[in-house]
Structure 1
Amino acid sequence: MDNESKIVWNPYTKGYFDNPYPHLKQCREENPVHKGVHNEFIFFKYEDVSKILRSNDFYVSELSSYLQTKEPYIFKNTNTCPYLSKGTQKWPMYLNGDEHKNLRAVMGKSFKEFELNQVIKESLTILNDRYKNSITIDLVDYCSYFIFLVTEKLFGIKDFESFENIKKYSNMLARSQDLFIPKQIYEEINSWFLWGKNIFHDSKYKENIRFFANKLNLEYTDEDIYSIMSISVMAAFETSKDNLTMALFEILRDQKLINYVLHNDTKELNLLIEELFRFSSPLQYTVRVNNEVIEYNNIVIPAKSKLYLCLASANRDPENFTAPDKVIPNRTPNEHLAFGGGNHFCLGAQISRQEMRYCLKPMVDFLKRFRIDDSVPTKWARQIFMRTTNSLSIKLK
């Protein structure tokens, strides 16, 4: 079968946003490395994705530079301040070399100053008190509100902005990374970037960023600091909310998993948590750029090409995971790629794991009296790089 007759990746395939995995499976099996319609090269197999992630021969695509080239078109004939490139200029997953290394060090040290366990305990008490008399719950709102409570404590936004505003702010910033964004959405994202400059009025985390940057002799401007704050909030809110929502969704639909969570302790729970990260893969894709010409499957890839690495497909590759479309709570080994790999391994991975370890059992204990409401369709966001649920209803048994 010649290359033209093989399947080509298309996230607008019917049903993709509800369930991308059948399409990804077909791509992985029939055309595991191929050129997309926008001259990008897409990789679907675990072996290929893992190799590129862990290699030093590739670098990350620079989002800020990309947005800077688009801004003259997006903001032509408007009076809106173009802030997309400024807002993303210090997002570590789009930086390379020493700039990336130094920023990771600053952010990592800043987060370590917090007692995350205590913050989570306090947030859980407030969360479950809010929903204690509910007959139906939107699981997305439940998880989002919990993450909001954690986020406002970490970043000093308590009593300043509403849950709905922070939720929208985070989601719009996340969308700045997605594919095929229309002009009007970019304009809306820009507005939220500008709005967010006012929310960090009393932030210990911001003070930590300045302190550790100074210790490393790094000169960060106010714009740099805000960019760091914006990615910190987005990463803490958006990915954690998606991780939790999809984890609880899988658990609540299976009584065996409910029992597993409630009747096991740290070691067994950690295995399940890693399996839920693998199975859900909220970050579905990441991007790398090749310095040199490379060849995969007899396909010559020119230097400086964008390589889309499908983490979601790699994490369901049967060559690496037995029964990949099932949640196996004690799966081991489990070298999933949900947090990427190599030098750009997700900076927030440890925080996501801590959140799940501290909150999963008390959340499941609270929600065990609920079940998935199959009469209300789950609403998935029309996003490509991050798989996000807009609404997921549960009701009392």
Structure 2
Amino acid sequence: MKNILLAVTGGIAAYKAIDLTSKLTQAGYDVRVMLTAHAQEFVPPLSFQAISRNPVYTDTFLEQNPAEIQHITLGDWADAVIVAPATANMIAKLSHGMADDIVSTTILATVAPKWIAPAMNVHMYENPRVQENMETLKQDGYHFIEPGEGFLACGYVAKGRMAEPTEIIAALEQPAHVRTDNYFTNKKVLITAGTTIEEIDPVRYVANRASGKMGYAIAAALVTYGAEVTLVSGPTYITPPEGVTFVSVTSAQEMFEAVVERYAHQDIVFKTAAVSDYTPVTKFAHKVKKQEGNLTVEFKRSKDILKYLGDHKQHQKLVGFAAETHDIAHYAQGKLTRKNADVIIANNVGDLSIGFNSNENEVTMYFKDGEVQPLAKAGKAELAYQILNALESRWHV
């Protein structure tokens, strides 16, 4: 699935569609956007054009290429269609087969899978006619991404908020059918993600290039599988997935304490965070001023979180990650033994296309029974499901 056709309709949540376009593009999708006339009252086409680097479609009769019939070509191009936000009006149109604008016309003309992310006032959402229209679309094969509860533009605090972009992407990449006996359902799962920061003085610190994207993708996928997810994260620029218990930390020591405090109650731990191996012996209270000659900063080993978890493992399943630049199999298998993990997932961060901050990854899973399973290069959200499915096939009983 590569080509995403995003339909934006006229609700205040249309501003979220700009962020959704950005996150889809960052995840490696080719995104084209359609806007209804009412959507353009909230967000301008230029914003989507700048982010997607594709034309934006606003009028059925504004044929940009005379050799094509625009709404047919768009529908054929799309691997999937997302309507976000989907207003009660657009849901009604689609359920009754109406085609009077670029969005409804194109959606009726495509056979691509369709996802609907409703956003509206809670009373509108609960209105029997709206519910009936949504049920009709579900029977026709449309996938719905449930709105969340929270503060609505009308002032109510209730259900009706459009799902967050990360939730929409996770739903898009979720396997079509999740078994009701899925291994992860109701499991308590803790994930560490991101980098850690070790301060030298109030201005300077030591960190690494980990973005947290892989850990956040696994957290989002686990939520869709029904797990109770705790995400312990160092500093990142990513919005935590909806549905997780989020714990923000900064240093390796803070991450160690947050994980150890919760470890006994977990069923599974994914340690994806790239934790600093060393931390300064002394943190200077004031900025270290520039002076002649070299500066030497003494470092000590920070606590090894994965080894602690392996040494104190009781009933938990322990999944570690190894970011390597060479001799990947050797280091991953050694880590598997030393840390008493159930599986180590390794990748080559020396390859910039799958390294830190990349939107794609390619990993190899090393299991304690000696089995090795490579997973081909894919977007990190998609790869998260592949990892979970590989684990589920071994752990499910």
TM-score normalised over the length of structure 2: 0.22
More strand by share: 2
More helix by share: 1
Greater relative contact order (CA < 8 Å, ≥ 6 in sequence): 1
- Between structure 1 and structure 2, the one with the greater Rg is 2
